[in-house]
């Protein structure tokens, strides 16, 4: 059984006619000790997916499908069980460490908090554990008394990683963990996360708009567009030989790691992903696709392909289909 198995996950914000479908039927699977990357431009539903995995979405969000963590469905879990699973079963590292940390408390206390909440230990033992965790992420234990504003962006992100590891989770979800950092620090932090999860046999689901970053860290990649996975396969194959025109456009847009200028407007990829409230008919990428055919307006494709590398594109589903344009 996989560590994480996502089946037919759908998330809509709001209800009725005004509902916005942000995630539209996502299937994913991740084994313990493996690293899966989720790529895609802003607005494609990556964070919605990440938050859905631990049911951290606002109450306006409607979810359906299954999120199986070690076979147990997070979406139907009782509240008490869910609280136990958060931190100890799976934990999340967000992008903006400054906003996730409490500005008026020492970082050591903040790392100790989930430990106290989830493990039967004394306050002193939790403090010691916080010091060990700081050292694990490359900060001196003495930094425990520092406030977030006394640390650099990279150091704060290290604190977030220490917190995520605090209760020994089986899965870590990292949503754009280094996007706010400069390239050098980004590489250090990614190396740190990659090393720690491998060492401990933790599953990592890492989200980024930057395909180059993900290809560097992850074993497999899934590319999201307009709330769906449109390509999925081994990291190297997706990055260097994408099957979906959107996958190709993304890898061309991120030729090197940490090109933050590409964030809002990936190079060679004009336009924006569609507003989920106003999706075009057929393939959602069609209006931007340099290779679109007439048939692409008819229906969205399912993922197809061999050898564990699949894409949702009519050219993969029916390679001879060009003649129908
Ligand atoms: P990404 O992380 O890939 O940038 P998001 O999951 O943040 O994408 O957003 C996907 C879509 O859902 C966007 O169109 C966004 O505007 C919409 N969305 C995100 N959060 C909310 C919310 N709380 N209420 C309504 N719509 C939202
Ligand atoms: Mg996001």
DSSP string, 126-167: HHHHHHHHHHHTTS-GGGGG--GGGS-HHHHHHHHHHHHHTT
Return the residue matching tokens 């136990």.
84
Q: Whose CA is nearest to atom 21 of ligand 1?
A: 13
Q: What is the pLDDT of residues 35-76, one digit of tens each?
A: 999 999 999 999 999 999 999 999 999 999 999 999 999 999
Neighbours of ion ligand 2 (CB under 5 A): 46-47
Distance from Cα 13 to the centre of ligand 1, integer Å: 8
Mutate to test the pocket of ligand 1, among 19, 39, 43 (most ligand atoms within 8 A of CB): 43
Q: Whose CA is nearest to atom 16 of ligand 1?
A: 43
Q: Which ligand is nearest to the CA of 42?
A: 1
Supply φ then ψ for residue 74, to 5 degrees.
Answer: -65, -35
Distance from Cα 154 to the centre of ligand 2, integer Å: 19
b vs e for 197-213, b when ≥16 Cβ sit within 10 Å of the residue's Cβ? beeeebbbbbbbbbbbb
pTM: 0.92
How many residues are present in the chain? 325
Distance CA 79, CA 77 (A): 6
State both tokens at 206: 């890492």
Rg of the chain's alpha carbons, rounded to an integer?
20
The CATH number for 4-89+167-321, chosen from 3.40.605.10, 1.10.10.10, 3.40.50.300, 2.40.50.140, is: 3.40.50.300
Nearest ligand 1 atom to alpha carbon 277 = 14
State both tokens at 203: 């599953």
pLDDT along the chain (325 residues), means of 10: 96 90 97 96 95 95 97 96 92 77 93 91 94 94 95 92 92 90 84 91 94 92 98 96 95 69 63 92 95 95 93 86 46
State both tokens at 174: 């990292």
Residues whose CB is less than 8 angstroms from the CB of residue 82 and which lie 6 or more positions away in sequence, other chains included: 54, 55, 74
Q: What one-character DSSP code corresponds to residue 280?
A: P
What would the DSSP string read from start to end of 200-221?
HT-EEEEE-S-HHHHHHH-SEE
- Whether 300 and 283 have beta carbons less than 8 Å apart is answered as yes
3-state secondary structure of 287: helix
CA 163 to the chain's CA centroid: 18
Supply φ then ψ for residue 264, to 5 degrees.
Answer: -80, -35
Residues whose CB is less than 8 angstroms from the CB of residue 265 and which lie 6 or more positions away in sequence, other chains included: none
Nearest ligand 1 atom to alpha carbon 20 = 26
Distance from Cα 34 to the centre of ligand 1, integer Å: 27
Distance from Cα 247 to the centre of ligand 1, integer Å: 21
Distance CA 313, CA 146 (A): 51
Supply φ then ψ for residue 225, to 5 degrees.
Answer: -140, 130
Domain ranges for the chain, please list them.
4-89+167-321, 90-166
Distance CA 115, CA 46 (A): 28
Nearest ligand 1 atom to alpha carbon 47 = 2
Ligand 1-lining residues (CB < 6 angstroms): 13, 20, 22, 40, 42-48, 58, 276
Question: 10 Å Cβ neighbour count for 220?
Answer: 22
Q: What one-character DSSP code corresponds to residue 285?
A: T
pLDDT reported for residue 321: 52
Supply φ then ψ for residue 314, to 5 degrees.
Answer: -65, -25
Q: What one-character DSSP code corresponds to residue 302?
A: P
pLDDT reported for residue 262: 52
What would the DSSP string read from start to end of 58-109?
-TTEEEEEEEEETTEEGGG--HHHHHHHHHHTEEEE-S-HHHHS-TTS-HHH
pLDDT reported for residue 306: 87
Distance CA 304, CA 162 (A): 39
Q: What one-character DSSP code corresponds to residue 122?
A: -
Distance from Cα 316 to the centre of ligand 1, integer Å: 29
């Amino acid at each position: 059984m996989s560590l994480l198995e996502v089946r037919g996950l759908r998330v809509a914000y709001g209800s009725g006619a005004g509902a916005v479908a942000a995630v539209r039927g996502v299937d994913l699977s991740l084994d313990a000790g493996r690293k899966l990357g989720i790529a895609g431009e802003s607005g494609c539903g990556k964070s919605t997916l990440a938050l859905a995995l631990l049911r951290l979405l606002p109450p306006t969000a409607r979810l359906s499908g299954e999120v199986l963590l070690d076979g147990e469905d997070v979406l139907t879990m009782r509240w008490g069980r869910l609280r136990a699973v958060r931190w100890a079963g799976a934990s999340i590292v967000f992008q903006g460490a400054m906003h996730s940390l409490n500005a008026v408390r020492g970082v050591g206390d903040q790392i100790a908090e989930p430990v106290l909440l989830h493990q039967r230990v004394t306050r002193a033992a939790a403090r010691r554990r916080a010091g060990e965790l700081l050292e694990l992420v490359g900060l001196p234990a003495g930094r425990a008394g520092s406030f977030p504003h006394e640390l650099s962006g990279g150091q704060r992100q290290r604190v977030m990683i220490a917190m995520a590891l605090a209760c020994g989770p089986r899965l870590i979800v990292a949503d754009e963990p280094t996007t706010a950092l400069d390239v050098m620090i980004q590489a250090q932090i990614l190396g740190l996360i990659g090393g720690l999860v491998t060492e401990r046999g933790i599953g990592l689901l890492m989200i980024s708009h930057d395909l180059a970053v993900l290809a560097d860290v992850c074993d497999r990649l899934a590319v999201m567009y307009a709330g769906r996975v449109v390509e999925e396969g081994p990291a190297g194959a997706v990055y260097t030989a994408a099957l979906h025109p959107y996958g190709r456009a993304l890898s061309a847009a991120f030729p090197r790691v940490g090109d933050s200028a590409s964030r809002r407007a990936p190079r060679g990829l004009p336009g924006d992903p569609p507003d989920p409230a106003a999706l075009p008919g057929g393939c959602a990428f069609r209006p931007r696709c340099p290779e679109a055919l007439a048939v692409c307006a008819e229906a969205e494709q399912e993922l197809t392909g061999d050898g564990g590398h699949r894409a949702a594109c009519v050219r993969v589903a029916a390679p001879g289909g060009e003649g129908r344009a």
